[in-house]
């Protein structure tokens, strides 16, 4: 496995549809951390991109077999590491 590939982090809003990624970091603001954690979006969890935001629309991801819609602002604060599936 290419070590460089492992540490590439992108905001969730840039993840391509159908790709899987691991949540690396959540840039905080307005208690974002807590709200996302309760919905199941936590560091270390793997998610899959269902719908990538068009312009400023929401992102839809699948995480722990649940689909969640996340507003653009919030989604751009979630940094993920693509796992290349």
Contacts of 22 (CB under 8 A, 6+ apart): 44, 45, 46, 47, 80, 81, 83
Q: Is residue 6 within the footprint of another protein (CB under 8 A)?
A: no
Query: Please, which of residues 27-46 interact with another protein by CB under 8 A?
Result: 30-31, 34-36, 38-40, 42
Q: Which is nearer to another protein, 9 or 30 (CB)?
A: 30
| Structure tokens that stand for 22 in this block | 């691991």
Instruction: Using alpha carbons, select from 66, 37, 59, 63 the residue that is nearest to residue 48.
Output: 63
Q: Is residue 73 within the footprint of another protein (CB under 8 A)?
A: yes
Q: Is residue 55 within the footprint of another protein (CB under 8 A)?
A: yes
| Structure tokens that stand for 51 in this block | 């719908």
Interaction site with another protein (CB under 8 A)? 30-31, 34-36, 38-40, 42, 50-51, 54-58, 60, 64-74
């Amino acid at each position: 496995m290419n070590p460089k590939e492992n540490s590439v982090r992108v905001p969730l809003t840039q993840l391509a549809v159908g790709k899987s990624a691991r949540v690396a970091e959540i840039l905080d603001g307005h208690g974002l951390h807590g709200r996302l954690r309760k919905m199941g979006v936590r560091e270390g969890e793997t998610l899959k991109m269902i719908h990538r935001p068009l312009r400023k629309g929401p992102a839809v991801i699948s995480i722990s077999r649940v689909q969640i819609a996340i507003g653009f602002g919030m989604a751009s604060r979630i940094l993920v590491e693509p796992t290349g599936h």
